[in-house]
Structure 1
Amino acid sequence: MLQLLIGLALFLGIHSLQSLAPDMRQNGIARWGTLGFKAVYAAVAVLGLYLLVQGYGQARLDPVVLWTPPRGMQHATILLMWVAMVLLVATYVPGNQIKAKLRHPMTLSVKVWALGHLLSNGNLADVLLFGGFLVWSVLVFRAARQRDRMHMHSAYEGKLLGTLLAVVVGTGVWAAFLMGGLHVWLVGVMPFTRAG
């Protein structure tokens, strides 16, 4: 469990710098230069992800059950995962209305993903992993919205074609996870038998 906690702290901590600790980020760039900072950033992120994945995998071998989610929560998770995948894809599809309206669909995607998995998983490791990502995404989204207001970013209009593309591709990614075996391959769990 300690490995999972250290991994979460490193991975989420380094991904919080721009939004929650911009001065620390600027100090790092001033000290190491842009390229050096990116190298340190990448190293910490990769180490954190490795520890997070290894720690979560070990914790799943000897689960500490906090609660047993009702069976219907699996269906809610599956639906929320569709929303999360559409938001994720909307981050990268240029000129879509989802990104134009929400401004930070990647962070919202993480928020929806984490919430969905918390609904259908009641083990301690799940609560730490998904709860950690949920708290992180709430804080980062809030900071990003405050930054938007301070800098008075002008709103841009998304186009219907970009929006449709984001929804179609997001639905395809969701289907690949749900029915195409991608979730089983990556996580080792079949979503229909245990969403999460």
Structure 2
Amino acid sequence: MLILVVGLAIFFAVHCVRLFIPDWRKMVVTKAGLMSWRVRFGMLSLLSIGFIFMGYGQARLAPVWLWFPPVFMPHITSLIMFVALFFFCSAVVPKTTLRRVTGYPLYLAVKLWAFAHLLSNGNLADVLLFGSFLIWAIASYAVFRRRDRKAGVKAEESNIRFDLIALGFTFVSWFAIVLFFHKAVIGVSPLV
């Protein structure tokens, strides 16, 4: 469990810099250069994700159960995950309506992902992992939307064609995850 907590601490320390010190990135890029910033940020992110995977895998070997979700909950989680994947794809594909309306669909995707997984997983490691991501996504979304409104940031134009591309990616990725990747990477089928 300690490795999971260390991984989460590193991940959120790196990814909360813009929340608490918005101009720090700009200062580091000015001093050391953009490539240096990206390498450091990327290495710390990869290190933290490695710790999270390793710690979560170890914690699942000796779970501390807080509750036992009902047997139908994985099906509800899968439906919520479809919506989360649509938000994710809308964040990746430019000029989508969700990006124009919400500003930060990636944070909304993380919120839905974390909430859905909290519904269908009831051990302590799950609460630490998904609960911390849920809190981070809520805080990040609120802070960045408030900053955008204060700065008068205008929404980009959207096009239905890009929404359809995002929807197509959503279907492909959802089926790939449900039918193959979740079981291959995590070891659990999402529809069991």
Tell me the C-alpha RMSD between the 2 structures: 1.5
CA offset at residue 33 of structure 1? 3.3
- The residue type equivalent to 2:52 in the other structure is L
Q: Pairwise mapping of residues 7-26 of structure 1 onto structure 2 (< 5 A)?
A: 7-26=7-26
Deviations 1:57-89 (A, max 9, x none): 000011110111122322221111001111111
**157-166 vs 58-67, greater mean Cα deviation:** 157-166
Q: Find the counterpart in structure 1 of residue 64 from structure 2.
A: 64
1:175 aligns with 2:178: no
**Aligned-partner Cα distance in 2 for 1:65–1:130:** 15
AA at the equivalent of 2:187: G
Task: State the Cα distance separating 1:37 from its structure 2 match.
Answer: 2.2
Distance 1:67 1:26 in 2: 44
String of CA shifts for 1:159-184, please: whole Å, max 9, x gaps.
Answer: 111111111211211111112x1111
Q: Is residue 20–residue 140 contact of structure 1 (8 Å, CA) maintained in 2?
A: no
Cα distance in 1 for partners of 2:62, 2:31 equals: 43
Corresponding pairs, count: 192
Kept after mapping to 2: 8 A contact 1:18/1:25 = yes
Cα displacement (A) at 1:39? 2.0
Q: Partners in 2 of 1:69 and 1:105 — Cα distance?
A: 28
Determine if the alignment matches structure 1 residue 75 to structure 2 residue 75. Answer: yes
Aligned AA (2:22): P
Kindly report structure 1 stretches of 4+ aligned residues shifted beyond 6 Å: none
Q: Distance in 2 between matches of 1:169 and 1:62?
A: 36
Q: Counterpart of 1:51 in structure 2: which amino acid?
A: F
Listed as ranges, the gaps of 5+ residues in structure 1 are: none
The separation in 1 between residues aligned to 2:31 and 2:128, in whole angstroms, is 33
Query: 1:81-105 CA distances to partner (integer Å, 9 max, x unpaired)?
Result: 0011111111121222121111111
Structure 2, unpaired ranges of 5+: none
Query: Which residue number in structure 2 is paired with residue 96 of structure 1?
Result: 96
Instruction: Give the alignment's TM-score, normalised by structure 2.
Output: 0.93
Q: Which letter maps to 1:103? A: G
State the one-letter code of the partner of 1:77: T
Question: Secondary structure of the equivalent of 1:90?
Answer: helix
Aligned to 1:189: 188
CA offset at residue 152 of structure 1?
0.8
Identity of aligned residues (%): 38
